[in-house]
Structure 1
């Protein structure tokens, strides 16, 4: 009995020690100089302050009303303490923002929608939800096909960064024609255009932020606002990254294919790369072969052999606000 009591008290002691130490583990950062560590120490116990307003797609959103303030506060805390997810999202964004932002601009979609992509997938082109949504923009199979993406057992263009971004632009433009404001468009990306329209009619308001919605959708817009603030200044959230911590863009050449490839591994070898690297750079290739039907042409990215090695000193940050070595 005494030995059991000692064991129990020992467990309590460990728990107490962990509780005492854990506040010192709260700040997540990529370590650098003593000066950087001092900045982290100074911000260890702080919470990101909820601003009075945010600007989204050129519109100023008032956050002073208690419900909006508290919703925003929840999402800011979530991004502050989901350390690994928040940091990795920034790292990946350095690779993918330079690809998607020019497409958004080309199609007349506000640049702020890159933050929608960030919360959809954490900037992971391989992301897949339990419901079956896939890729950076998390298209469901039926929606992907509706907006021009090929989705079958061999090819799934939801994982094609460029094509999926163009498809997302089609959806966003279509939704804007329906709603006429970008906040409603963003909400509809989560809930569907029909549901947002129905709730606006039932609740007698076109102001989407004033709608009573299921929790996932109610949080969705504020998550976009919060991640925008995260990208504006990661240090406010306690994250101190160096340029070398960010993921660089991958250098590649493009091979156009209009005839069936029966063995992608053999094709990869003939192109001077490996099957694993081929699939990594072209995750839309879902099988071991690539059938080309009806004269359809595909573009396959082949990594440049002499530029595959990680050279941290040459990694350029997409935004200088993301890093401490400005």
Structure 2
């Protein structure tokens, strides 16, 4: 009898052990398919279709929402709710004020714009993050736009295109902050190879976007239609204009554009409004931003010898994630020497390098 009990106990323990091993191994097997950025940067056979930097970016922006401008989220009484509605007369007055200062002169009110404004206001927490990111990107955008004598409010196009994510990829294959397709990128000197994708380079892609917008305005001469062409392509705008030669403005041709383009100009007007009046709607910027530096506090240095980005960051006593966020164009960790390879670093780290 005792022997039978012992056998039953051993059999039960064996089954229990099997269940434990099975339950422990399942998450491990599932995790094998998840891209690990720190591991994959050393894998020279990395499939470039897997944009692992984008996963890091999402991780950086998708952290726990600890606070909004110092207001704790754990206590309901301290939460300030975003004001997602606005009276039509008030919105019209504010847009008129913005339009008077605008260089494009297209910030006008209608019911479609009103709906777009309220749609953005409902995304208040995401707007707060974008405002934090804009503190790094907008000074550079404004500098480039001014160099090309373009309206500074065109900087808001980057929010519509990518939410200021330098490595985001669209379903169609457009890439980067300004969402260039490979063919258009090549026209404007944005090179792609197995080491880097310059559509991800915030500075070079901004330069390319300025050149493209300058070309579109010279060709079309109307900022509403330029924005439509940036979204749908100049060929689409050309065809619509040829079929409706008696109409030359976006709103007069609105019904003939693809649905995405119909919403594109209203989004541009709406994001202009929201980025100027977010405080009036109780939208607060996030304290934490992935960028610890301002754009003007960084500088480019040439890569003179083969380096590993991971070990280079370690030698500079700099977080690896900071180096990657400043240099999102690189797709691999090992960078060969060459005149065309540069790294963007905080200026204090450049000074540190010179002392070594």
Q: 1:186 to 1:74 in 2, by over 3 A?
A: same
| Alignment pair present for 1:156 and 2:201 | no
CA distance in 2, matches of 1:73, 1:210: 18
CA distance in 1, matches of 2:238, 2:333: 43
| Alignment pair present for 1:59 and 2:98 | no
| Alignment pair present for 1:129 and 2:175 | no
CA distance in 1, matches of 2:191, 2:204: 10
DSSP-derived class of the 1:59 partner = coil
Q: TM-score normalised to the size of structure 1?
A: 0.72
Pairing partner for 1:233 from 274, 277, 289: 277
Pairing partner for 2:185 from 136, 141, 144: 144
CA distance in 1, matches of 2:87, 2:275: 13
Contact 1:57 1:182 in 2 (8 A): no
Displacement of 1:296: 3.4
Displacement of 1:180: 1.0
CA distance in 1, matches of 2:311, 2:181: 31
Deviating beyond 6 angstroms after TM superposition, the runs of 4 or more aligned structure 1 residues are none
Pairing partner for 2:86 from 47, 71, 89: 47
State the Cα deviation string for residues 9-29 of structure 1 (Å, max 9, x = none).
xxxxxxxxxxxxxxxxxxx96
CA distance in 2, matches of 1:221, 1:186: 7
DSSP-derived class of the 1:187 partner = helix
Pairing partner for 1:296 from 339, 348, 353: 339
CA distance in 1, matches of 2:313, 2:84: 51
CA distance in 2, matches of 1:70, 1:141: 36
State the Cα deviation string for residues 246-295 of structure 1 (Å, max 9, x = none).
76534444321255x26433444444435443222201011122245xx6
Contact 1:48 1:76 in 2 (8 A): no
CA distance in 2, matches of 1:83, 1:282: 28
Q: 1:174 to 1:74 in 2, by over 3 A?
A: same
Q: 1:297 to 1:202 in 2, by over 3 A?
A: same
Q: How many residues align?
A: 267
Q: 1:168 to 1:48 in 2, by over 3 A?
A: farther
Pairing partner for 1:279 from 311, 317, 324: 324
State the Cα deviation string for residues 117-142 of structure 1 (Å, max 9, x = none).
12111122232222222211111122
Q: 1:219 to 1:30 in 2, by over 3 A?
A: same
Contact 2:83 2:121 in 1 (8 A): no
**Which residue of structure 2 lines up, in the alignment, with residue 256 of structure 1?**
302
Displacement of 1:200: 1.5
Q: 1:248 to 1:113 in 2, by over 3 A?
A: farther
CA distance in 2, matches of 1:248, 1:196: 41
CA distance in 1, matches of 2:321, 2:68: 31
Pairing partner for 2:252 from 206, 210, 214: 210
Contact 1:72 1:222 in 2 (8 A): yes
Q: 1:271 to 1:29 in 2, by over 3 A?
A: closer
**Which residue of structure 2 lines up, in the alignment, with residue 223 of structure 1?**
267
Q: Supply the RMSD in Å over aligned alpha carbons.
A: 3.0
